[in-house]
Amino acid sequence: MASVPNQATTRASNTAAHSSKGFTRHEAALTLGALGVVYGDIGTSPIYAVRQSVLATGGAMPADFAIMGAISLILWALTIIVSIKYMIFVLRADHRGEGGVLALAAFAHRSHGLSRRTKSIIGSFAVMGLALFFGDGLLTPAISVLSAVEGLQVEEPSLAPLVVPFSLIILVGLFMMQSRGTGKLGVLFGPIMIIWFTTLAVLGGMAVFKNPMILHALNPYYGLHLFIIEPWSAFVALGSIVLAVTGVETLYADIGHFGRRPIRMAWLVIAYPALILNYLGQGAVLLDDPSTIRQPFFELAPGSLHYALVGLATMATIIASQATISGVFSLVQQAVQLGQLPRMEIRHTSATEFGQVYIPRANFLMLFGVIAIVLIFKSSDALAAAYGMAVVGMMTLTTALLLIVAKKRWKMSTPAIALTIGVFFIVDLAFLSSVSLKLFQGAWLPLAIAIVVFIFMDTWRVGRRVLTDVMYGSGLSTDRFLERADKTPIRVAGTAIFVTPRLDEVPGSMLHNLKHNKVLHERVIFLRVDVQDIPYLPAEKRLTVHKLGKGFFSVEIHYGFLDTPNVPRALEGARSHGLSIDLDATTFFIRRETLVMSQRSRMRKWRTKLFMKLYGSALEAAQFYHLPAGRVVELGSQTEI
């Protein structure tokens, strides 16, 4: 398995680069990378957002009012949600340089003065955010690729039956590529997205030049005017307007990879102006000819460039999908580390680029889910309602967590919070209420996905707690055992390491070994792996070693939830703590449980069965912690749960 560079070292080198003469080039490279990875999703929204928004506002009012109002609402949604809320406030709420729903929840959770109930709510928000992100991870590739391939039928309506097959071929190919890593493809992301955003700006600007009347949509009055003349239609339209801000969570989640300033630069200098011009351009085209509502984005291009635009749009949507898939892999990795999901195989696909991981099980489940979604919905129009619910749900959870951070960490006054976070809440809840109206039109899908994921994660979390209570808490304490350690059987040469979740009790694997083999090694180590709710831990804080006497030691290996656990590598640092370990003369003992249904289970029967299935599917601890092959002994037992 490829090694991953120490993240603290990477950050130090980045800081040094920022202070050196190469700062400008370095920052430009990060900005280009952010443009390719971070803004792929929001950058492809123009393909379908205008069509859905104008259709939602039209019918109950004159076409010109509907077009101007919809474009105005889109522009101000980008401004308020992305440029103000995320760029100014949310990006400030990084947790030791990392972002995303897990990092934000951990940042809020570590605030002083929180009640147990508040901390429990924060934990639930984190799980709900993860669940919604998984739903977004299924919907983004489906709607993005479908919307791009649908451009084929603008010039040739006879190609419509090929949209779904072509989309499936592209999506299957995309997921099959994941095992090879995104390193080579990632090199192309930035330049392609530069071309994409340039194309958006040029095509939009040309259309605006032909019909500058659309520039009036920059005035928020036209969006507000919709609520005055047709309040219900305008409210319903918000469920489609939100499609213009898809991908905002990605820019926050990737702050650790690119930094706050490059992400802001990429947005304010390139992505934001290009999107504004393109949305205005599509509005200008619709003002000239409302019948182009079928595909206003592709109508921007001259006929001779139509298929070239379809090809470029397809490449951009693949990039958007890739970024989302990689984000799901990253969140699954974090959830596994934090004990929110069973252990899974996690492969690092790059020896130099941190964060490039491939998770086979997650990839297979996502591929199956995306194929099912495409076959069920068959068009981007049908998927639009479903997509909006996933986006708004995550936005609302982020605002809720941001409220706690603003109050407890930033010490903002109540009036300041009301004028900022309060306004964001009102906007989010307005969008959420509107999207909820489409519950039976497709908005149920991300909720269903989120509920299923939440049930799995909550069952795993509760089940682990029950299992730990059953296995530990009434065993032989370490102190009592050490008092009688001189009376133990024969001690043999070598080192034995017993992996255990608790250091205050003698590991069950050691008691089993004593019972059956009646020997102890001359040196015995009780080992616990501790994952903390911070992204990374520096190498100097990796180990805690305590000498217990009589040849016994307790060792804790500490990781952040974005670190990769590698027990043998961590144990190499034990020498500086006065404990030298020769892995060739060391045996690792692991307890392996076979779960049996108890007559008095503390969980409902169906949850107990589900937990047993999840427990049985978990990756073996020896493989997950990279223990050396041939040096591991598993001691099994049956446990009622």
455 vs 596: CA distance, rounded Å: 21
Percent composition of the chain: helix, strand, coil (DSSP 3-state, to 5): 70, 10, 20
157 vs 161: CA distance, rounded Å: 9
* DSSP annotation of 619: P
538 vs 115: CA distance, rounded Å: 30
Dihedrals φ, ψ of 619, to 5°? Answer: -65, 140
Q: Alpha-carbon torsion 284, 42, 241, 222, what sign?
A: negative
**Could you state, in order of their start, the residue ranges of all structural domains in the chain?**
25-461, 476-640
Over the chain, what is the mean pLDDT?
Answer: 86
146 vs 164: CA distance, rounded Å: 7
Q: Is 39 helix (H, G, I), strand (E, B) or coil?
A: coil
CA angle 117, 120, 124 (to 5 degrees): 140
117 vs 314: CA distance, rounded Å: 47
pLDDT at 188: 67
pLDDT at 8: 40
The pTM of the full predicted model, rounded to 2 decimals, is 0.83
pLDDT at 152: 84
Measured torsion, CA atoms of residues 439, 445, 450, 455, in degrees rounded to the nearest 10: 100
Express each pLDDT in 41-95 by its tens digit.
Answer: 899 999 989 988 988 886 666 788 889 999 999 999 999 999 999 999 999 988 8
* DSSP annotation of 556: E
Report yes or no: 599 and 324 within 8 Å, Cβ to Cβ: no
Express each pLDDT in 309-368 by its tens digit.
Answer: 999 999 898 888 887 888 788 888 888 888 889 999 988 766 555 556 789 999 999 999
Q: If we measure between CA atoms, which residue out of 358, 361, 363, 398 comes closest to residue 255?
A: 398
Task: Give the DSSP H/E element, type plus range, for residue 103.
Answer: helix 101-109
Please state the separation of Cα 83 from the chain's center in Å: 21
Q: Kindly list the averaged pLDDT for each block of 10 residues, start to end, along the chain of length 641.
A: 38 40 67 81 91 79 85 96 94 83 86 87 87 87 90 81 92 86 62 93 96 94 90 90 88 80 91 97 93 88 88 89 82 85 84 68 93 91 83 91 92 92 94 90 87 91 88 80 75 91 88 83 93 85 91 93 89 90 91 86 90 92 90 86 85
Report yes or no: 35 and 194 within 8 Å, Cβ to Cβ: yes
- Architecture per CATH, domain 25-461, reads as Up-down Bundle (1.20)
Structure tokens at 156: 């040739």
Report yes or no: 275 and 88 within 8 Å, Cβ to Cβ: no
Structure tokens at 388: 């909006």
| End-to-end Cα separation, the chain, in angstroms | 35
265 vs 31: CA distance, rounded Å: 7
Q: Is 171 helix (H, G, I), strand (E, B) or coil?
A: helix
Q: Which DSSP string do the residues of 192-227 spell out, in sequence order? A: HHHHHHHHHHHHHHHHHHH-GGGGGGGSHHHHHHHH
| Cα atoms in the Cβ-side hemisphere of radius 13 Å centred on 576 | 10
Structure tokens at 599: 């007559």
500 vs 494: CA distance, rounded Å: 19
CA-to-CA separations, 574 to 521, 528, 551, in angstroms, rounded = 19, 14, 15
Dihedrals φ, ψ of 596, to 5°? Answer: -125, 140
- In this structure, the strands spanning 347-348 and 357-358 are antiparallel
